[in-house]
Amino acid sequence: MALVDLSAPGEDFDADPYPFYAALRTAGPVHQLAVGGDRSWLVVGHDEARQALNHPALAKNWLGSELFGLPAAAAHTNLLESDPPHHTRLRRLVSREFTARRVEALRPRIQQVTEELLDAMAARPDRRGDLIRDFAVPLPLTVICELLGVPDLDSSRFRYWSGEVVAPLGNAGPDSRVMEQLTAYLLELVEAKAADPGEDLLSALIRTRDEDGGRLSPDELIGMAFLLLIAGHETTVNLIGNGIRALLAHPDQLAALRADPEGLIDGAVEEMLRYDGPVQHATYRFAVADLELGGVTVPAGASVLVALAAADRDPARFAEPDVFDIRRTGPGHLAFGHGIHFCLGAPLARMEGRIAVRALLERFPELAEDPDAGPRDWLPGTLVRGVTRLPLRW
């Protein structure tokens, strides 16, 4: 079996990784990765991805893994990087406060922020701008900060922190100083909320207790704030950016959505998530026992990387998977994961995506990519998928 090197394909892979994944799927659903050799595996088949995402022999807590030489930090004490029973307890406590009712209550504010950002875009005399900077970033950042009760967050500093966590520019991974700075900031925030609580989600998480009187520890609160701020922001940025790119590249689908936004917006957002979702690979999982995936034996101690982008273009699961079709029906995608680690913020991301895309298209009937923009700058790495900027005219 040939080793797969995800750093080898280069710029073509950054722009369009899907032919690369298609070739891998043709050869088999599971492959060895060059990084880690026989101790690291990549899953590209849909059925195998679903199995891996919820396999009891694949753990998420990386602190004992040889793959990463990173020090433990309070920010890592979160749902994404924990396993049962710790994960079960965390999810139960967080779910008590991060409810469907709390998310639905955000709808008027999301609509208001959306309209304010579109007003600012409409006021530009040149009728041009960067959708990422002017709309896709500030919308979810404003929403998640208000949800958590984060006062006056320095958006430029946070964007740098967030980018270094999910798409570090250096090949060595995230700058350790970023985690130190972000953890220190979150510690101050948690302490301030404990001393002077409000009606926000973070204050509610500090107060909440389970049936046995247990509550989130200070490290767990920092970890949840870290996860909600980073994941609740980055994924929606790229859902909006990738979704608008897909619509502009498929005029027939754009015209259909404009003609029937009420009837098609839900399906359009789901297809955006499947066709070119914001998360290219799930975070690493670690085998605590030997297991079989797609006819391949993954030994205990090995790491497994699930390519969500590859799984959601698997022809064994989706008819004509490379076709962008906002009327698509049938099996669901894996953009939000699967199993016990299914994204807790999926309802919020879907709501933001539906409101943002619909309002953007309704406000700007002539929305188009800026022909003078030059080549695209793709986010580095293979965790998140998107562009650093998306110049448009309207």
Annotated domain spans of the chain: 11-393
Mean pLDDT of the chain: 89
Q: What is the pLDDT of residue 174?
A: 57
Is 271 exposed, middle or buried, given 0-12, 13-18 or 19+ CB atoms closer than 10 A?
buried
Is 226 exposed, middle or buried, given 0-12, 13-18 or 19+ CB atoms closer than 10 A?
buried
Q: Is the dihedral of CA 179, 181, 182, 188 positive or negative?
A: positive
User: From 3.20.20.70, 1.10.1660.10, 1.10.630.10, 3.30.70.100, which CATH number describes the 11-393 domain?
Assistant: 1.10.630.10
Structure tokens at 146: 């208000």
- Using alpha carbons, select from 214, 218, 184, 227 the residue that is nearest to residue 81: 227
Q: What region does 179 belong to: left with phi over 0, alpha with psi -120 to 50, or beta?
A: alpha
Asked, as a colleague might, if the bond just before 85 is cis with ω within 30 of 0, I would say: yes
Give the whole-angstrom CA distance, residue 236 versus residue 289: 35
Q: What is the pLDDT of residue 131?
A: 97
Q: What is the pLDDT of residue 65?
A: 47
Q: What is the pLDDT of residue 37?
A: 58
| Tens-digit pLDDT profile for residues 283-326 | 999 999 999 999 999 999 999 999 999 999 999 999 999 999 99
- Using alpha carbons, select from 274, 300, 271 the residue that is nearest to residue 287: 300
Residues of the chain with pLDDT under 70: 1-2, 8-11, 36-38, 62-76, 155, 167-175, 210-211
Give the whole-angstrom CA distance, residue 224 versus residue 78: 5
Give the whole-angstrom CA distance, residue 161 versus residue 229: 11
